[in-house]
Amino acid sequence: MEDGTERWLNHYSSKQQILLVGEGNFSFSLSLARAFGSAANMTATSLDTHEELRKKYGTEAVANVEALKALGCTIMHGVDVHAMSQHIDLRSKRYDRIVFNFPHAGANVICRALEGFMITDNQVLVRGFLKNAGEMVKEDGEIHVTHKTTHPYNMWGVETLGREVNLCLVKEVPFFVSYYPGYVNMRGCTMNSDSTFHVGNASTFMFRKV
């Protein structure tokens, strides 16, 4: 693995500088890092502090973080996608890929049943992510948002949100959790944050700068 050979897992390569944001239990990052070995050039981040991570997801998430560190990945906590382009440890870096899987602004107990319909809050989140990511991605880099494509999630208008911040959709490809060994997608910011959810039809939306 340390011989300079390029390793791939689906759209991602060990030669790419990858920034992952909005991680849940860090299992997606770890899936990539394990495929890349110690050649990984990854920074994996979450909105949660280390303490919140432990409380929400328990020891498995902490173990995932430790495994990522052992593979040479950078881990950052408390990274808000609305402000990440100004983050002191991120603002001078440029990335080949910036990835946010299943962005969600959260839902409390009362609106849990309606979470897919909380469109405005979620559009604000995705637009904020795309705007910041557009300032951090290399000229030929890509920004990836993985999102459900069924109703009501398709009403978020992910492609339009990209256009609003000068990004163009270059590709939309079907997403399957099984493509990423060990990845367990998490609710994260809704009640039962430590449980997974059914993905169903979902796509990775790939954007580039206009």
Ligand X SMILES: C[S@@+](CC[C@H](N)C(=O)[O-])C[C@H]1O[C@@H](n2cnc3c(N)ncnc32)[C@H](O)[C@@H]1O
For strands 74-77 and 95-101, give the pairing: unpaired
Quote the crossing angle between the two packed helices 59-70 and 50-57, to the nearest 10°. Answer: 130
Of these, 32, 47, 98, 136, which contacts ligand X (CB under 6 A)? 47
Amino acid at the residue 80: D
Of these, 18, 19, 21, 68, which contacts ligand X (CB under 6 A)? 21
> Is residue 75 at the binding interface for ligand X, with CB under 6 A as the rule?
no
Report the distance separating Cα 149 and Cα 203, nearest Å. 7
> Is residue 122 at the binding interface for ligand X, with CB under 6 A as the rule?
no
> Is residue 134 at the binding interface for ligand X, with CB under 6 A as the rule?
no
Query: Cβ-count burial of 143 within 10 angstroms (0-12 exposed, 13-18 middle, 19+ buried)?
Result: buried
Report the distance separating Cα 171 and Cα 208, nearest Å. 10
Residues 27-46 touching ligand X, rule: CB under 6 A, are: 28
Q: For the residues of 25-86, what is the DSSP string, one character each?
A: SSHHHHHHHHHHGGG--EEEEESS-HHHHHHHHTHHHHHHHHHHHHTT-EEEES--TTTGGG
> Is residue 18 at the binding interface for ligand X, with CB under 6 A as the rule?
no
> Is residue 186 at the binding interface for ligand X, with CB under 6 A as the rule?
yes
What single DSSP character describes residue 155?
A: G
Give the contact letters, 80-119, x = binds to ligand X (CB under 6 A), - = no: xxx------------------xxxxx--------------
Q: What is the closest distance, in whole angstroms, from the C-beta atom of residue 105 to ligand X in the complex?
A: 6
Of these, 12, 16, 24, 95, which contacts ligand X (CB under 6 A)? 24
Of these, 189, 205, 206, 208, which contacts ligand X (CB under 6 A)? 189
* Site size with ligand X, rule: CB under 6 A: 21
> Is residue 22 at the binding interface for ligand X, with CB under 6 A as the rule?
yes
Of these, 23, 29, 31, 90, which contacts ligand X (CB under 6 A)? 23
Residues that bind ligand X (CB under 6 A): 21-24, 28, 47-48, 80-82, 101-105, 125, 185-189
